[in-house]
Amino acid sequence: MVVATATPYRRPPGGEREARVVDEETPSAEGLTTVVGTRRVHPMEPGDPVAIGPYTVLCRLPRGGQGADVFVAKSDDESAQLVVIKCLPADAGELTRRRFAREVENAARIVSPRVARIVGQDLEAKSPYYVQEYVQGLPLDEWLAQRERVGLNAEELRRIAIGLLRALRDVHAAKVVHRDVKPSNIIINDKGLWLVDFGISRYLGTEHPDGTVTSAINGFGSKLFASPEQLQGLPLTEASDVYSWGMVIAYAAGAKHPVDPDDELSPADYWIELKAGRIDLAPVPHNLLDSVTRALRFNPERRPSLSELARDVEQSTRWLGQTSEIPSPRTALGDFRSLDAVLDVVRYQLARVERAVADTQTGYAAAIGVAVVLGVITGLVLAVLFHVIFG
């Protein structure tokens, strides 16, 4: 594990010579594509740091909440590992710093192959920062934009739905509610789906003596994927993330938001639309419609649990066989931490076997062959037992 030192930003002292040094060390726009992959990044801005702790800064990602800067950097050791560094400005107030510390604590609680690890931090620096694994790939909203706003097919939706449910299960296992589940925080790459950005997450376990520092004012990131109770500033449970899951799947199905496609409504008007149930679910495939509809129930107590959703999605979509540009959800050792998680994995793997058998001539022939061999073996065993007992 790489741990960042307490060194704050290292800025060039000024002058043209130092500016040239930055140009020499920072890849060109074309070079960045090779270094950081296809994810959309932004160029450095005047006054940005050359390095933060033991990391060389390469480029920017979109700014985070609380006025934080977000950079892609690489470690200065032999591994040249890519990381994401999120840091506050030096003039950030005490409350903002405390919120930032909670964000780091919450993200660090989660052990998941679908959530980037925290690999370093310095919250006492003049400009506090933390360091996280860099996940190469595309956010879901950029993925859809590259496909010219064509929604995902049923098989791709199945994989997104199951992968996101597994990521949320890992988050909730750490007693954390994400509270900002939206397409820009869902990264897709060749390993599957990743959930990122815990900037407004909430820990539901025993609070610290000074309590929570996340107020209703910053209780939701994007209104478009926030639950009704989140928009009202009410206490939240895991059911809030369930609602956001349903909204993400509805969005991915039609490549547009099902309530406010042009993001024109005020939060108050948007909440009225949710309460009235005016959500366009027409693009959602019939085999996912029931799960999405139940996840989007206005009353959080009437929404299904993640385990119920995982079971229902698996059962209703297991016979899909369309092509997919999104990889199949992966299984990791951490998926066996609870009985519900084990059952989810077993159901998913059994479905893959069933589909392989039913959907291909080779699989069907192999299944018949296995059945014949087992029948022959069973017959021989019974014959031997009959001979021993009655012979």
Give catalytic residue positions: 180
Instruction: Give the CA distances from residue 14 to residues 19, 54, 73, 75, in Å, rounded to whole numbers and listed in that order.
Output: 7, 21, 21, 24
Instruction: Give the CA distances from residue 264 to residues 146, 219, 223, 261, 327, in Å, rounded to whole numbers and listed in that order.
Output: 23, 20, 11, 8, 34
- How far apart are alpha carbons 55 and 128 in whole angstroms? 15
CB 218 within 8 A of CB 205: no
- How far apart are alpha carbons 345 and 351 in whole angstroms? 10
**CB within 8 Å of 99: residues ≥ 6 apart:** 66, 213, 214, 218
- How far apart are alpha carbons 335 and 341 in whole angstroms? 6
**Of 68, 372, 327, nearest to 221 (Cα)?**
68
User: What are 322's two structure tokens?
Assistant: 């369309």
- How far apart are alpha carbons 278 and 267 in whole angstroms? 15
DSSP class per residue in 339-388: HHHHHHHHHHHHHHHHHHHHH-HHHHHHHHHHHHHHHHHHHHHHHHHHHH
**Of 88, 87, 57, nearest to 73 (Cα)?**
57
Instruction: Give the CA distances from residue 253 to residues 178, 193, 325, in Å, rounded to whole numbers and listed in that order.
Output: 22, 16, 14
**Of 175, 199, 195, 258, nearest to 65 (Cα)?**
199
Q: What are the residue ranges of helices labelled H in the chain?
A: 16-25, 29-36, 94-109, 140-146, 154-173, 228-231, 238-254, 267-275, 286-295, 306-317, 339-359, 361-390
User: What are 235's two structure tokens?
Assistant: 């206490």
User: What are 193's two structure tokens?
Assistant: 């789906």
